[in-house]
Structure 1
Amino acid sequence: MIDFIAAVPVHEHFRWLDWVVLFSYLGFCTWIGHRLSGKQSTIKDFFLAGRSLPWPAVSGSIIATEISAVTFIGVPGAVFAANGNFTYLQWAIGSIIARCIVGVYFVRAFYEHEIFSPYDFIANRLGKSAKTITTLLFMVGSVLGQSVRVLVPALVLRTVTPFDMVESILVISVFGVLWTWMGGMTTVIWTDVIQFGMFLFAGILALVWITISLPEGFPQFLQIAGEAGKFELWRWMPGVGSEQGMVEWVRDTEFTMWTALLAMPFQNLAAYGTDQLNAQRMFCCRNASDATKAIIFSGVGQIATLVMLMVGAGLFAYYSVYPPDAGTAAEFAKDTDLVFAVWITTVLPAGLTGLLLAGAFAAAISSLDSALAALSQTSISLWYHGREKDMPDEKKLVFISRMTVLGWAVFLAGMTVVLYQLKESANIQLLSLAFGMVSYTYGSLLAIFLLALWRIPAKTAALWVGLVLSVLMTTWVRGDIFVVAGEGDWFKEHRLQMTYAWLYPINFAITFLCGFLWRKSEPRDPSLK
């Protein structure tokens, strides 16, 4: 256990038994999904599961989608890193606030009419053009955000197997398409429930294994991690000795109570209330009351985040007692994101390695199939909106939906390669990459939804202006396009200094104010609901 790599390539530690366990688990999930899929004869069955699913299953699906492989792999790596700690958990406050608001206020609006997405609701209130804008926003945000969630397990697969990056992305994408094709949202939700259970089991097993591996067990884990500051949770002000003033620190620091209370509620309102990836699940419930229970009770998923934070602290304690070889230590110093995957592959016995890595792939495929279903539904809805008379029969429409799933899978795979280049060029941690990507769209998406909810008749031009200004603002802060183009050094000298978390409320305010101040003067269209 102590001689954990000994100059042997990591992928050579992934043995034939691990392959058997990994693919047996994925095969089992595929079989379960097929058995539970039911008959998918209509588009309502395919995208809304016939609005017949029990709320606990929907709640579990929301948790599984939210967690993703970014939590399973990225969170332990963030805690293991120098100066890493539990401050990420502060953001759970914004998440819980947002879930309650969505459950109490947004869900009621969703069930006013027979609709498939928040963008249908926006169309009813603000017109077709507003639906087009928000659907495109969702598509862009989903491609950016979900590409990160495909990237994480692909990085793991590339590390622990002989597969290259493209082959790793292909394997994950194939399973995502297969699970979505089998039974639409019914299969997606029930397999998500299994993934959540597997994810939690894998995290707890890893934590137990780490603590019993230490000579003095759990007390030693607490001592080593505690002395290194890994359990620091609340952060209201700069640390002792910091050269930053309070304003600069609040502006620039990612995980603080200020971002948790003032910025992340906007991010989570957009994520749970306006992002079809999560909202689609609430549409699968039997009624608004069940949907409210599903979204509010999904807050218990923060327990899984806490488990993975503990795993990260445990890994720090483990490698403090059993130091890695010089080459691996150098890799960890450069990029800690894969430390958990390396530990799983090089420390655990054959079979358990495959089982725990199955947790990472389960979380990834769970997020991917959810994204594919949501992207397919919004694409079909946007294409036929206002042309309902041209819609084919239900059987052909289900076929078209499945082909749309495949098309989006190919596009997501290509975008994942681009994000891989971005991560390698800028050395961005996975957590920051995942949250940062959606900062381009979430503020504007939430603003337009609330304009619709509060019946403020914003002009279409105002929404476009707000959207463009928000994207420019995000580009000024993040500059991802400059990094990909090889101009990262130039951008660092000219960027607006600010953590991306503040982009959520800022971009919301920009778009909302544009829509509020630039309203339609003509009488409201009576066809809008």
Structure 2
Amino acid sequence: MQWKRMGLILAMVLSTTCGVTAQEVGAAEQPGPVSFSWINWVVLAVYLAGMIGVGIFFSRRESDSRDFFLAGDRIPWWAAGLSIYGTQLSAITFIAVPALAFTPGGNWTRLVSSWTIQLLAPLIIYFILPLFRRLNVQTAYEYLEYRFNVVIRWLASLTFIAFQVDRMGIVLLLPAVAISAATGLNVLLAIVVMGALATTYTVLGGIEAAIWTDVVQVVVLIGGAIICLGAAVGAVGGPTTAWDLAHAAEKTTIFD
């Protein structure tokens, strides 16, 4: 019941930004008293402390900016790949996009835009990455300065920073709402705690800490998604029933 309430709350939060009323989302009950046992608090505290521990551990390996930004070329390819995947798996992907299923017309049409990533990946692998390796640049912005001038580098950097600051607002808000629904913690306090912890282990350990914490978080996120999917399918009576319900509600449409 607790997870059901949390899902309905998140759906209503998203529907408000999409201009959809709570009645269109569904008849959602107001959440009652939250029960977050001491075992859950211990697991949460250990997990967060572990993330800080990762930052402290890798901070001892840093000696210059190359270590901070490139981890001294110590990162294996599979960890870098999982980190990129985990970076794209933000709260928007994990919480907001699934909540679109509650809105009118919510279906699988978003898969089409996701497929374009597969089309672009070979171009990046065979053209962009080898170029960066040959030039031995640490960032794409450094390359822009080499290719054009420092003004273009500043413009691109500031544009990206502005975009990320704007994006981080919703990326922090969504999990804060989920944490508040599950634990009763104040939303603003949850935002401050998450921001402070993420900033701390990143500043301490640089890209190496960021990558390895991403690896852990990918396992947690994908594992959690699989468990949630299994629980949801089991709750409605199995895969066949789940498919029939989704198809009847026109949720399985891919091309419109």
Instruction: Give the TM-score band, short-chain normalised.
Output: 0.7 to 0.9
Alignment partner of 1:224 out of 221, 229, 245: 245
1:153 aligns to 2:171 (yes or no): no
User: Aligned partners of 1:10, 1:86: CA distance in 2, in Å?
Assistant: 33
**TM-score, normalised relative to structure 2:** 0.82
Check the 8 A contact 1:87/1:233 in 2, yes or no: yes
Which residue number in structure 2 is paired with residue 84 of structure 1?
106
Q: What is the match of residue 191 of structure 1?
A: 213
Q: 1:211 aligns with which of 215, 229, 233?
A: 233
CA contact (8 A) 2:55 2:200 kept: no
Per-residue Cα deviation, 1:115-138 (whole angstroms, up to 9, x for no partner): 221111111111111112111111
The aligned amino acid for 1:101 is: L
Match for residue 13 of structure 2? none
Distance 1:136 1:25, change over 3 A: same
Partners of 1:143 and 1:120 in 2: how far apart?
21
Q: Residue 58 of structure 2 contacts residue 204 of structure 2 at CA under 8 Å; is this kept in 1? A: no
Alpha-carbon shift at residue 11 of structure 1 (Å): 5.9
Q: Distance in 1 between matches of 2:78 and 2:216?
A: 13
The whole-number CA distance in structure 2 between the counterparts of 1:7 and 1:195 is 31
Instruction: Specify the alignment match of 1:50 in structure 2.
Output: 72
Within-5 A mapping of 1:358-377: none
Q: Match of 1:234, as an amino acid?
A: F
Q: Match for residue 11 of structure 2?
A: none
What's 1:168 paired with?
190
Contact 1:154 1:168 in 2 (8 A): yes
Cα distance in 2 for partners of 1:102, 1:221 equals 38
Indicate conservation of the 8 Å contact 2:55/2:202, yes or no: no
1:91 partner amino acid? S
Quote the residue 1:462 is aligned against. Answer: none
Q: Which runs of 5+ in 1 are unaligned?
A: 236-529
Q: How many residues align?
A: 233
Instruction: Report the CA distance between 1:38 and its aligned residue.
Output: 4.9
Residues 179 and 187 of structure 1 are in contact (CA less than 8 Å); yes or no, is this contact kept in structure 2?
A: yes
Find the structure with the greater CA-based Rg: 1
For 1:56 and 1:74, locate their aligned partners in 2 and report how far apart those are by CA, in whole Å: 27
What is the distance in 1 between the residues matched to 2:50 and 2:57?
A: 11
**Contact 1:10/1:159, CA 8 A, preserved across alignment:** no
The equivalent residue for 1:300 is none
**How far off is 1:142 after superposition?**
1.7
Q: Residue 22 of structure 2 corresponds to which residue in structure 1?
A: none
1:82 Cα offset (Å): 2.5
Q: CA-to-partner distance for each residue in 1:350-402, whole Å, 9 max, x for gaps?
A: xxxxxxxxxxxxxxxxxxxxxxxxxxxxxxxxxxxxxxxxxxxxxxxxxxxxx
Report the 3-state secondary structure (helix = DSSP H, G, I; strand = E; otherwise coil) of the residue aligned with 2:89.
helix
Q: 1:70, 1:149 within 8 Å by CA — same for their partners in 2?
A: yes
Instruction: Give the alignment partner of residue 97 of structure 1, picking from 103, 109, 119.
Output: 119
C-alpha spacing 1:54/1:8, structure 2 compared with 1 (3 Å):
same
Alignment of 1:117 onto 2:139: yes
Partners of 1:69 and 1:149 within 8 A in 2: yes
For 1:36 and 1:135, the matched residues in 2 are separated by 26
Deviation at 1:62, TM superposition (A): 0.1
* Map of 2:202 onto structure 1: 180
**In the superposition, relative to structure 1, how do residues 69 and 123 fare at CA in structure 2: closer, same or farther (>3 Å)?**
same
Residues 59 and 37 (structure 1), Cα distance of their counterparts in 2 relative to 1, 3 Å cut: farther
CA contact 1:29–1:191 (8 Å) conserved in 2: yes
AA at the equivalent of 1:166: L
- Superposition TM-score, scaled by structure 1 size: 0.41
User: Do the aligned partners of residues 139 and 227 (structure 1) sit closer, same or farther apart at CA in structure 2, a change above 3 Å counting?
Assistant: same
Q: Go from structure 1 to structure 2 and tell me whether the alpha carbon gap of 1:85 and 1:68 turns closer, same or farther (over 3 Å shift).
A: same
Identical aligned pairs, as a percentage?
A: 28
Structure-2 separation of matches of 1:7 and 1:89: 31
| Root-mean-square deviation (Å) | 2.3
Tell me the alpha carbon deviations over residues 240-282 of structure 1, each in whole angstroms, 9 at most, x when there is no partner.
Answer: xxxxxxxxxxxxxxxxxxxxxxxxxxxxxxxxxxxxxxxxxxx
In structure 2, what is the Cα distance between the partners aligned to 1:11 and 1:50? Answer: 49
Return the offset for 1:33: 4.7
- Cα distance in 1 between the residues matched to 2:234 and 2:185: 33
